[in-house]
Amino acid sequence: MLLHNPTSQAELIEDINKMGEIEGDSSPVAIALAFSWNLKNFDYISDIVCQRLSGLYLFQICQMKKPDLARFISRCPNLKSLMLTGMDDIGPDFIAQVFSNGMLPKLEFLESEGSDDAIAAMASAPDLRKIFFRYTDLSITNDGFKRLVEAGGGKKLVEISVSKRSIMA
């Protein structure tokens, strides 16, 4: 079965803005999108939605580039939950970048790819409680966690899960 989300970029942005700008509602919102070839950025998401955004879940959003996603995340200071999986241009180096730049200060849950550098940079997210590495860098060692702790991070971590994948030699 092939899954594909045919919704256009403009339609997705319009729907997200409508959802987040319901008059009188200031409760947190989340964006969950899967299987889109059309979505390339979130540039036209309103500031109201960005301020209310607490969860961002992206799966197989294949045209999104690092600078575009970083620009959006930097506009969302209240993000508590982030899942980035199956995205062509987004990997452990991106995760390391956003943490190194202090873009996720309130993050509590992360599901993404991982690396030692990404883990070490997570010290900028003092509320981080759960990490799930779906696709791990085969070079992950204890060094990333050692560097995280040495930088004063990881104090609230209660769960770290790593997907197991087999390597064919």
- Tokens for 102, please give them: 């202090």
Q: Tokens 């730049």 sit at which residue?
A: 101
Has residue 144 got a pLDDT over 50? yes
Query: What pLDDT is attached to residue 88?
Result: 85
Query: What pLDDT is attached to residue 165?
Result: 55
Per-residue pLDDT band at 167 (split at 50, 70, 90):
very low
Which amino acid appears at position 66 of this protein? K
Among 24-28, 94-98, 116-120, whose mean pLDDT is lowest?
24-28
- Residues 12, 17, 23, 27, CA torsion sign: positive
Query: What pLDDT is attached to residue 168?
Result: 40
Query: What pLDDT is attached to residue 142?
Result: 87
- Tokens for 28, please give them: 């947190």
Mean pLDDT in residue range 128-154: 85
pTM for the structure as a whole: 0.89
Residue 139, exposed/middle/buried by CB under 10 A (0-12, 13-18, 19+)? exposed
Please report, rounded to a whole number, the percentage of residues in the chain having pLDDT higher than 90: 60
Is beta strand 159-162 parallel, antiparallel or unpaired with respect to 29-36? unpaired
Q: Name all contacts of 115-120 with Cβ < 8 Å and 24+ positions apart.
A: 115/139, 115/140, 115/144, 116/140, 116/141, 116/143, 116/144, 116/147, 117/92, 117/93, 117/144, 118/92, 118/93, 118/144, 119/144, 119/145, 119/147, 119/148, 120/96, 120/144, 120/147, 120/148, 120/151
Mean pLDDT in residue range 107-120: 92
Q: Tokens 């087999």 sit at which residue?
A: 166
Interacting residues of 146 by C-beta distance below 8 A, sequence separation 6+: none
Per-residue pLDDT band at 112 (split at 50, 70, 90):
very high
Has residue 25 got a pLDDT over 90? no
Tens digit of each residue's pLDDT (9 = 90 or more) over 74-94: 999 999 999 999 888 888 899
Q: Which CATH architecture has domain 9-19+40-162?
A: Alpha-Beta Horseshoe (3.80)
Domains in the chain: boundaries: 9-19+40-162
Query: What pLDDT is attached to residue 135?
Result: 66
